[in-house]
Structure 1
Amino acid sequence: MLNWLKAHCDTILASLPPQRLLALDALRGLTITAMILVNNPGSWSYVYGPLRHAEWHGWTVTDLIFPFFIVIVGMSLQFSMQRQSTPGISSHSNSQLIRHAATRSLKLFGLGLFLALFYYNFADPAYSYLEQKLLNLRWLGVLQRIGLVYFATVLIVLYCGTRGRIAWLLALALVYLLAMWFMPYQDSQGNTFSGLLLFGNSFAAWLDHTVLGVNHLYYRSATPFAFDPEGIWSTLPAIASCLSGVLLAQWLQSGHSLTHKIRGLLLVGVIAVWVAELWHFSLPINKSLWTPSFVLLSSGYCAIVLAACIWLCDVKRWRRWSAPFVVFGANAILFYMLAGVLARVLVMIPVGDGLLQGWLFSRVFQPLFGNFNGSLAFALTFLTLSYLLMHWCYRRGYIFKV
């Protein structure tokens, strides 16, 4: 069995182009794997603390997953831009690149809306898809944010050099903070607020509530304002996260030695995390608001984990561990889509007095492993089955490109 696993991993790694940065593929795969793991427990009533999001201010390991992916988008974008500008590789004009980026962004946004609409409550004969889903569609979400952030970052990267990109990163954080701290806003009772970072009471929440409407947001019952964790205003610092990925990729493209690059990533990462934790006392680290302190923290940890991946893959040459994550990372969007569809199917099909997922958990995983371990075992089984499907796609060269 062990020899088969080694051969399996070696076959995957042998299929990669020699110039490809394995550490980035491994990090992308790790990130999307973690995202699917935390999104699919057997029961939301039994989830270990680190696999949950922080309730409001503060953070858990789970809160780092989505910003890691955003940073990786920025890194991949920079590497892609470099390849397109390399002599001998077909180059495109800025207008072509912008059209391509706009198309990709619209596709990502559309896929996000598809997942938001992919649900029907078969267990309720009175369920109205028109009233409860179509007319109450959540406009924003994970894929929608990636699409918006990607397009904005492409524009900045195309027209700005390194100093311009740093300036944009800082400006986005500053504009976000100025509005959050000083922009006054009113609720329906005429009460005026400003400078609040409360659940349901911040400038970001007011903007989501006012522009998108209560019925189209994730936290619809929040008061005095419904809001979305992937909302309008928090998209600005999310773009800053993506730009941090661009800057990390530029560092990796520099002429320094590999050891020097790893040390640089570690130094920047540790300083960013340290500053973010100190800043937390005056500007809370908060994923739902995507505060600039959260940008610093998540980008810092991403730099540290990337340095670790480069050290393992390229310095120590310990590569086999990365092979399954390469498979997941190569088809990250397809993996996310299929996992999202399957997760929804499991809570759509009625079985007995409940739904298929609840039946599987209560009849199979809970009796075998207990409450919390059973919920985790369900998520790990979900991942294992997903890997079989993703590996089948990988072997046949089917890569879903948006």
Structure 2
Amino acid sequence: MAITAQRFTALDVFRGMTVCFMIIVNTPGNGATTFSPLLHAKWHGFTPTDLVFPSFLFAVGNALSFVMNRYRTMPTSQVWTKILKRVIIIFMLGFLMYWFPFVHWEEGRLVGNELGSTRIFGVLQRIALCFGIAALLVYYLDGRRALMVSIVGLLVYWALLLLFGEPGAQLTLHGNAVLKLDNWLVGAKHLYMGEGVPFDPEGLLSTLPAVANVTAGFAAGHFLQKQGKNYEALAKLLLTGCTLLLAAYLWNLTFPINKKLWTSSFVVLTVAIDCIILALLVYVIDLRGKTTWTYFFEVFGRNPLFIYLLSEVLSILLYFFRTGDESYYAAIFKSVFLPLGGYVGSFLFAIIFMLICWIVGYLLDKRKIYIRV
């Protein structure tokens, strides 16, 4: 069956919901008083927040399913140029975002941020690498074989963690192979410090299993385009999601679900949930025609990378600029939102911040401005 040229609103809404939730969980008014579902699992385990980033990668795969046919009509050199250009731009945007604003306050004066201690890997960097690898896999193989290669990658990653981690501590914060490779490759100064020690949850080695989130997203998008909007396709997508859900929890018994290590069981779990969510969206939007609520999320979905980057830069600037001894970020929370209650105020701060980003996306959409890289 030929793939249809129709656009699925459900796929656009899925991408927009992911960006919306990503902004909310990234910008609470106060991390110490954040509702627990809006926090990442401390190590092994899973929370709703842990679904956000892999869902973004799944959405990247969905989008790739729409452009791959166009890639196949181009000369190979042009395809490589397009893919590598996008990888480099997104990777560098991520790197510059961690270096930004290039200076910091130290004893009341501005001091330059050292390039030698800037985080190298991160969210946008992982998106760039996973997109590039998945795009090339799909381009040279068909979607099914690319997915099979990704599944092999999940098994290889499991073996690498067991073989090269510290004996008896392969899946711990201090003894995992992801940390060992990053330390050897870029050094501790270039790693994320959010765990209290140098460790990057977007490290190079854990990019290997994350590619599967993109190829799975491609497979889901390709499947929906090929099968069309019907109950049979919906049932197959739901069945796939439920089967993967069972597989993830069985695998969890020997290879724990862990977002920060991006374990293979974590990949299977998040792909399962994404398939189920996407099936529900297809049912509500494309089969039942309930679309009065979708525009809000479509705004996010039409400029996803730009709006995400905007949210991060705006947050950084609010932390950078100061009033007295505290940042504007902290001052706004304390004066406006804290009186509403620690947890409620923190949540409302995140909602308002997300809505500000939405307004920018809305203005761009009304002017038909779509920023692509």
Bucket of the pairwise TM-score, normalised by the shorter protein: over 0.9
- Give how far 1:195 is off: 6.3
- Give how far 1:163 is off: 4.2
- Alignment equivalent of 2:238, drawn from 266, 270, 275: 266
- The one-character-per-residue Cα deviations of 1:345-393 (angstroms, maximum 9, x if unpaired) are 11111112211111111111111x1110001111111112212111111
1:49-198 equivalences under 5 Å are 49-83=36-70, 91-119=73-101, 120-122=103-105, 124-131=107-114, 134-183=115-164, 193=167, 196-198=170-172
Q: RMSD of aligned C-alpha atoms?
A: 1.8
Rounded to whole Å, the distance in 2 between the matches of 1:124 and 1:20 is 54
Rounded to whole Å, the distance in 1 between the matches of 2:344 and 2:62 is 36
- 1:400 maps onto 2:371 in alignment: yes
What is the letter of the counterpart of residue 172 of structure 2? Answer: L
What is the letter of the counterpart of residue 349 of structure 2? Answer: F
- Give how far 1:135 is off: 2.1
Rounded to whole Å, the distance in 1 between the matches of 2:24 and 2:211 is 25
- 1:314 maps onto 2:269 in alignment: no
Kept in 2: contact 1:156–1:165 (CA 8 A) = yes
**Aligned match of 1:213:** 187
Q: Give secondary structure in 2 for the equivalent of 1:254.
A: helix
Larger Rg: 1
What is the letter of the counterpart of residue 278 of structure 2? Answer: L
- Give how far 1:122 is off: 3.8
Rounded to whole Å, the distance in 2 between the matches of 1:340 and 1:281 is 36
Kept in 1: contact 2:323–2:331 (CA 8 A) = yes
- Give how far 1:286 is off: 0.6
Instruction: State which drifts further: 71-80 or 296-305.
Output: 71-80
**Aligned match of 2:216:** 244
**Aligned match of 1:36:** 23
Kept in 2: contact 1:206–1:227 (CA 8 A) = no
- 1:235 maps onto 2:207 in alignment: yes
- The one-character-per-residue Cα deviations of 1:25-46 (angstroms, maximum 9, x if unpaired) are 0000000000001001111111
CA gap 1:256/1:352 in 2 versus in 1, 3 angstroms: closer
- Give how far 1:116 is off: 0.5
What is the letter of the counterpart of residue 276 of structure 2? Answer: I
Kept in 1: contact 2:192–2:199 (CA 8 A) = yes
What is the letter of the counterpart of residue 347 of structure 1? Answer: Y
- Structure 2: unaligned runs, 5 residues or longer: none
TM-score (norm 1): 0.88
- Give how far 1:239 is off: 0.7
Q: Give secondary structure in 1 for the equivalent of 2:45.
A: coil
1:239-388 equivalences under 5 Å are 239-255=211-227, 258-367=230-339, 369-388=340-359
Kept in 2: contact 1:138–1:218 (CA 8 A) = yes
- Give how far 1:93 is off: 1.6
Rounded to whole Å, the distance in 2 between the matches of 1:162 and 1:154 is 10
Rounded to whole Å, the distance in 1 between the matches of 2:199 and 2:345 is 33
Kept in 1: contact 2:169–2:175 (CA 8 A) = no
- Structure 1: unaligned runs, 5 residues or longer: 1-17, 86-90, 186-191
Q: Give secondary structure in 1 for the equivalent of 2:294.
A: helix
Kept in 1: contact 2:18–2:52 (CA 8 A) = yes
Kept in 2: contact 1:276–1:294 (CA 8 A) = yes
CA gap 1:348/1:162 in 2 versus in 1, 3 angstroms: closer
- Give how far 1:126 is off: 4.8
- Give how far 1:222 is off: 5.8
Q: Give secondary structure in 1 for the equivalent of 2:226.
A: coil
Rounded to whole Å, the distance in 2 between the matches of 1:391 and 1:344 is 22
Rounded to whole Å, the distance in 1 between the matches of 2:71 and 2:120 is 33
TM-score (norm 2): 0.94
CA gap 1:220/1:200 in 2 versus in 1, 3 angstroms: farther
CA gap 1:361/1:222 in 2 versus in 1, 3 angstroms: closer
Kept in 2: contact 1:328–1:387 (CA 8 A) = yes
- Give how far 1:58 is off: 0.6
CA gap 1:328/1:124 in 2 versus in 1, 3 angstroms: farther
Number of residue pairs aligned between Structure 1 and Structure 2: 368
Rounded to whole Å, the distance in 2 between the matches of 1:163 and 1:381 is 42
CA gap 1:221/1:78 in 2 versus in 1, 3 angstroms: closer
Q: Give secondary structure in 2 for the equivalent of 1:398.
A: coil
